[in-house]
Structure 1
Amino acid sequence: MLPEESRTWNEIFAQPRIWVEWGPVLASQAREISAWIIERQITEIVFAGAGTSAFIGDALSFASHTGPLIKGIPTTDIVACPFECLRDDPQLLVVQFGRSGDSSESVGTLDLLDRQFPKVQRLNVTCNPNGALATRLPAGTGEQKVIALPEATHDSGFAMTSSFTTMLLSALACIDTKADVATNLGRLADKASALLPALQAMTPQRPDRVVFLGSGALKGVARESALKVLELTAGQTMTSWDSTLGFRHGPKAVITGHDLIVVMIHPDAHTALYDWDVAREIKAQYQDAKVLTLGGEGCDVDLRIIGDARWEAPLYVLAAQIWAVAWSNDLSLNIDNPFAGQGNLSRVVSGVTLYPVRA
């Protein structure tokens, strides 16, 4: 199978069309959600999900605004350690992300909100209008809102692609109240339309190891990028991720030879100074390694369009999406299900034992 014959490839290339069509609809829904957040006097927002869905919270928790405190807490942590993660507070909003909306931890978090935290407000952002996140009603006094994304975002391939980027943009639209949402999605779509074929054309030879580095909101994007490569190459390409400055403090030991290091240059000029320092340092210290920079002027890939790391996050992740598919194909894997026949990973995590909470 050629990469372009896979569902995953087509779902990646569908993102610009999805964003531009979703923009006006999202703008209207985001205004309503933003007003509701103010009305409910929300003081803290927890962005929650598992795996890729959790990394949305990693990126958005760096929001630069004066509104509610924002945290990213994975549902895997909430289910395992509920009272360390949440409190029964009507001024707390839990935003759950889920492609299917039916994963074990999504359902487990809904159970906890019903029984242990019934006053908490909820916003579910999901790609599946028939999943639990979209259809299940709350049992407590906390209100619930749902953003059901376009059907095209419900990726049929193993890897989350359009689901990740569009859920991120949808949540961001609700908290960035000064943004022109429809215009931003249109600009991102135009930029992505040009970026995708360019990234395809410059696909590096598959390395044994890939490292993704990013600062602030881009650290979450680095984490998602590393997971995309690890998943789509079925673990045959080892990956690592970190913040650019954090990488020096031990994790740099991962570089051993002809590795690929992708440094995401932050749009903030001050932050970018540190990103560039680390990129230059790695080039100087590891002659066999290949260093690629993603960002603005002077980068190997110029993706700058808005100047806000949160809004540009979907553009940064495109490189990992495209290259991971190509490398999966090089390994003769089933791109849409790299673990076919193994039975150890599945598209939707289910069958997790959910233990009753005793409190």
Structure 2
Amino acid sequence: MTVTYQEVLQQPSVWREAAAMLAARSDEVAAFLKPLLARPDLRIVLTGAGTSAFAGEVLAPALSRKLRRRVEAIATTDIVSNPREMFAEDVPTLLVSFARSGDSPESVAATELATTCLRAVHQLVITCNADGRLAREHQDAASSLVLLMPSATNDRGFAMTSSFTSMLLTAWLALASDENIQLTDQLATAAEQVLARADDVARYADRGYERIVYLGSGALGGLARESALKLLELTAGKVISYFDTPLGFRHGPKAVLGERTLAVVYLSNDPYTRRYDEDIAAELQTAISPENVLIVDAQSSDDAWHVDGVAAVNDALLALPYVVIAQLLALRFSVALGRMPDNPFPDGEVNRVVQGVSIHPLEP
């Protein structure tokens, strides 16, 4: 069993552990966040690089609706390269940083640039590495709060799996939910049911697909992006992946479809949004054949991979059991192609912690 597969399997248990850790610090977290969230002019920016950035993309639409305020997902890579544009409006800001290692150059630089560009900024750091530079530099800062994930989530494998889901869950519980343990157990149980069906993904990997398209709306759009990256990473680019929204896909990107394309459609729990998701799923079943369309749904088992027990949860949380399916698919495709999932790039073309980035000083 590969390390990456073990880290996929451990997710239900580490989610429960992460929720318990957060509950133990509930008074401290509330003391930090409640005064900030009481400010009507507060801007919340969710940031990270790669998969960590996609955690923000999943959360931003749902948090904006839940908190009834502006919540934006901006990658650290965009903040570092264009800080004056990303922080053009000097308003009170809560910068929420997601980082597995906390040692990526952009992770630290983004927090420093926020302090440079903004007069009033607080920092919530959610990371899996207590020894990372990001955690160390913010641990004792007066305007910062560091939330550490269970140590097992500092994934040893190349691809982020349990780190991504644990940080996403913790951010939601800290910012938007009072249901901590009960909600987490519901999500963990759903993921356990997905993992029990791990062998079901084998038939897709055995068909020799050359391309996989992931489609999702709103919060599930960020999930589609993370799903596409996971496949690209673990197959070392041998299977081309693409992501889009169901409505956006028709505007040109639909040209990616072919006989050896698998389309994965994530159905929303929002009754209005899911109409559009169902429309594209039906259209794809006609365009490329039903067997080449994988529909992932929490509400109906008809023609879908049904994820049980989460039919009423927010789409941002629905992403947690849904992404386990994408992780399993990426693993199966990687193995089928003879790759090494724990290290798909043995020659070092792509690294677990990004290398080669120079942080340039911001001139006045």
The equivalences for 1:119-198 within 5 A come to: 119-137=120-138, 143-177=143-177, 179-198=178-197
The equivalences for 1:1-359 within 5 A come to: 5-29=1-25, 32-40=28-36, 41-42=38-39, 43-63=42-62, 64-86=65-87, 89=90, 91-117=92-118, 119-137=120-138, 143-177=143-177, 179-203=178-202, 204=204, 205=206, 206-287=208-289, 290-296=292-298, 297=300, 298-306=302-310, 307=312, 308-341=314-347, 343-359=348-364
SS in 2 for 1:65: helix
Change (3 A) 1:76 1:283: same
- CA contact under 8 A between 2:90 and 2:118: conserved in structure 1? yes
Change (3 A) 1:30 1:338: farther
- CA contact under 8 A between 1:98 and 1:127: conserved in structure 2? yes
- Give, in angstroms, the shift of residue 118 of structure 1: 5.5
SS in 1 for 2:363: coil
Deviations 1:197-223 (A, max 9, x none): 313333313410000000110000000
For structure 2, which runs of at least 5 residues remain unmatched after alignment?
Answer: none
TM-score (structure 1 length as normaliser): 0.93
Instruction: Supply the distance in 1 between the matched residues of 2:79 and 2:303 (Cα, whole angstroms).
Output: 39
Mean CA deviation greater in 103-112 or 115-124: 115-124
- CA contact under 8 A between 2:87 and 2:114: conserved in structure 1? no
Deviations 1:164-191 (A, max 9, x none): 00000011112213x4011111111111
One-letter amino acid matched to 1:333: R
Mean CA deviation greater in 12-21 or 199-208: 199-208
Number of residue pairs matched?
A: 352
- Give, in angstroms, the shift of residue 286 of structure 1: 2.2
Instruction: Supply the distance in 1 between the matched residues of 2:151 and 2:193 (Cα, whole angstroms).
Output: 24
For structure 1, which runs of at least 5 residues remain unmatched after alignment?
Answer: none
Instruction: Supply the distance in 2 between the matched residues of 1:126 and 1:259 (Cα, whole angstroms).
Output: 36
- CA contact under 8 A between 1:118 and 1:139: conserved in structure 2? no
One-letter amino acid matched to 2:318: E
Instruction: Supply the distance in 1 between the matched residues of 2:257 and 2:215 (Cα, whole angstroms).
Output: 13
- CA contact under 8 A between 2:32 and 2:145: conserved in structure 1? no
Instruction: Supply the distance in 2 between the matched residues of 1:88 and 1:305 (Cα, whole angstroms).
Output: 42
Instruction: Supply the distance in 1 between the matched residues of 2:303 and 2:44 (Cα, whole angstroms).
Output: 34
- Give, in angstroms, the shift of residue 330 of structure 1: 1.2
- Give, in angstroms, the shift of residue 304 of structure 1: 4.4
Instruction: Supply the distance in 1 between the matched residues of 2:355 and 2:120 (Cα, whole angstroms).
Output: 27
Change (3 A) 1:67 1:277: closer
For the aligned residues, what is the CA RMSD?
A: 2.0
Instruction: Supply the distance in 2 between the matched residues of 1:300 and 1:57 (Cα, whole angstroms).
Output: 27
Change (3 A) 1:216 1:117: same
SS in 2 for 1:125: strand
SS in 2 for 1:305: coil
- Give, in angstroms, the shift of residue 31 of structure 1: 5.8
Identity of paired residues, percent? 39
Instruction: Supply the distance in 1 between the matched residues of 2:24 and 2:111 (Cα, whole angstroms).
Output: 26
- Give, in angstroms, the shift of residue 113 of structure 1: 3.1
SS in 2 for 1:101: coil
Change (3 A) 1:211 1:289: farther
SS in 1 for 2:145: strand
SS in 1 for 2:236: coil
Deviations 1:125-147 (A, max 9, x none): 0000001121104999x700000
- CA contact under 8 A between 1:266 and 1:275: conserved in structure 2? yes
Instruction: Supply the distance in 1 between the matched residues of 2:234 and 2:293 (Cα, whole angstroms).
Output: 21
One-letter amino acid matched to 1:124: V
Instruction: Supply the distance in 1 between the matched residues of 2:26 and 2:246 (Cα, whole angstroms).
Output: 32
Change (3 A) 1:137 1:20: closer
SS in 2 for 1:215: coil
Change (3 A) 1:282 1:80: same
Change (3 A) 1:94 1:67: same
Instruction: Supply the distance in 1 between the matched residues of 2:167 and 2:135 (Cα, whole angstroms).
Output: 14
Instruction: Supply the distance in 1 between the matched residues of 2:23 and 2:139 (Cα, whole angstroms).
Output: 25
- CA contact under 8 A between 1:55 and 1:221: conserved in structure 2? yes
One-letter amino acid matched to 1:240: Y
SS in 2 for 1:61: helix
Deviations 1:40-87 (A, max 9, x none): 344111000000000011111112224431100000000000011125
